Structure 1
Amino acid sequence: MAPTQFVHHRVQLGLWACGIGFGVLFFVGLAPLSGFIPPPSPELTGAELMAKYGDHLNLVKMGIVVGLLGSTLLIPWSTLVAIQIARMEEGRRFPVWSILSLVAGCVNAVAFILPFIFWAGAYYRADRSPELVQLISDMTWIEFLLFFPAFSMQLICLGAAGLSQQRGPQVFPRWFYYLNLWMAVVGSTGILAIFFFSGPFAWNGAIGFYLPVGSYVPFLLVTWWQFYRAIKAEKLYYEGLEQESDPKDELALV
């Protein structure tokens, strides 16, 4: 009897849809609702931050909730990433890259969730002490740009697994593995924001913020399309194996 898909393609499409849900809710929560994009200047005082967001705190809170829910969808998305990486490790005794990818993806989801929780604390009360608002804002934006280790690790796992694949059908085109490794490096440029209060390296600067985030958006679009193609190709692959199987083998198992 021919082998069947390890995880049904409809389940994988559901996990894939969660990835799209993450991207939509995450950026809708950050930009049009809460107004956190473009980021506030690190030089703003707590009083200036409250003046910037205080007139529409309920909308800010709504954006925080939406972004929080979107970030949680990274967990099922990371499951899909691990499933596809496991295909690349066919024949290996221990699927180390897929396991490491899933762990890194879950940690990455927590790192995406935390900024929204911190922002919720900062803007929960309209009469919050300005010094505390500034402290929480600093902590949140620094965390937002310094969560790259788990983020990059998940991308490195996919790239390394694909470039070292030895058996089974090619899951993604080879250039996509290099794209993941490139994004893993670009996503780390935000670490420089901890040293600057203004200029291109600050958390609202061209290199500190817009390079990693601006690169991540088109990268997400390419990634969604490549995973959709991989799921469909996997479905066709196993359907072909089932058609090639001998019907007598099926009867022998009844």
Structure 2
Amino acid sequence: MSTVTSAAPADATPARRMRPDVYISYWIFAVFYGALSAGVIFLGRATPPPRPDVTDLQVAHWFSQHHATIRIGFAILLVIAGGAAISNGIIGYFMKRMSSGSVLSYAYIASMGVGAIPGFHVLLVCWLTATFRPDREPRILHLLYDLGMLSYNGSLGCFTAAYVMIAIAILYDRNRIFPKWFAYISIWQVVTEVLATQMWVFHAGAFAWNGMITFYIAVVIFGIWIGALLPLMWNAGRAETDSAPALYAREEAR
């Protein structure tokens, strides 16, 4: 009696799956940005941004009107703020896999890490401070209102550096971790950051902090950037297999 042994075809490739740490970090990235969007839009009321051309009394009334939602939404965002670091880390991980080297990935992580303070935390702290003592003088509430929004929308340099780093890394990469067209979307992010500098001058119109040029175009470009990055990272993570331990060892040594 002959025994038949089934075997996989010689040209079969290993099943593709993400490393567990990459998989977990990826979903933290996705959930964090979803929670961030919900927090600043539906609870914190920072997006769409309120008007900059308002009086002290109008600002005091605005904080009174949105007192509860700002406190709930922004307090939650402060608790989960560490998700920003994990989000930066997973992008840096994929940048380290690029042939353009590790320096650009470290520069990206550092730029985004520094930028998170004025671009995220200052808004939360200023508006939570305003709602902590709502009986403050309206002019002080106005100061916190302006400081929060100008920091949130006008913190430009760190993010500009980060987008330049990732664009250069992709353009010089020979490993094709991310496609070249994503580098050009990142360059458009730089353009929107440069245009947003005008919000420090104008109180109304297209160049104010709630203007079409300085804010809404930037939001559209950022939405495209995030919307493209999520599937790109998923595909890049799935392209890794457990059959390449030597590659991981080289990456960790770099």
TM-score (norm: length of structure 2):
0.82
Partner of 2:140: 132
**Aligned-pair distance for 1:89?**
3.3
| CA spacing shift, 1:105–1:89, aligned 2, 3 Å | farther
Alpha-carbon distance between aligned partners in 2 of 1:18 and 1:188, rounded to the nearest angstrom: 29
Match of 1:108 among 105, 110, 115: 115
**Aligned-pair distance for 1:18?**
2.0
Alpha-carbon distance between aligned partners in 2 of 1:237 and 1:177, rounded to the nearest angstrom: 29
Structure 2 alignment gaps of length 5 or more: 1-17, 248-254
Larger deviation, residues 126-135 vs 147-156 = 147-156
Match of 2:192 among 186, 203, 215: 186
Counterpart check, 1:87 vs 2:94: no
Partner of 1:205: 211
Partner of 2:86: 76
Count of residue pairs the alignment pairs up: 230
Partner of 2:224: 218
**Aligned-pair distance for 1:61?**
0.6
**Aligned-pair distance for 1:220?**
0.9
Amino acid in the other structure paired with 1:165? D
Larger deviation, residues 68-77 vs 209-218 = 68-77
Alpha-carbon distance between aligned partners in 1 of 2:117 and 2:90, rounded to the nearest angstrom: 17
- Two-structure CA RMSD over aligned residues (Å): 2.3
**Any residues of structure 2 matched to 1:115-126 within 5 Å, and which?**
115-126=123-134
Structure 1 alignment gaps of length 5 or more: 1-7, 242-254
Q: Percent identity?
A: 22
**Any residues of structure 2 matched to 1:46-65 within 5 Å, and which?**
46-65=56-75
Amino acid in the other structure paired with 1:32? F
Amino acid in the other structure paired with 1:130? P
| CA spacing shift, 1:185–1:139, aligned 2, 3 Å | same
Counterpart check, 1:13 vs 2:20: no
Contact 1:71/1:109 (CA < 8 Å) preserved in 2?
no
**Aligned-pair distance for 1:69?**
4.0
Q: Deviations over 1:135-172 (max 9, x none)?
A: 11111111112222211222211111121124xx3101
**Aligned-pair distance for 1:56?**
3.9
Larger deviation, residues 199-208 vs 11-20 = 11-20
| CA spacing shift, 1:215–1:237, aligned 2, 3 Å | farther
Structure with the larger helix share: 1
| CA spacing shift, 1:55–1:41, aligned 2, 3 Å | closer
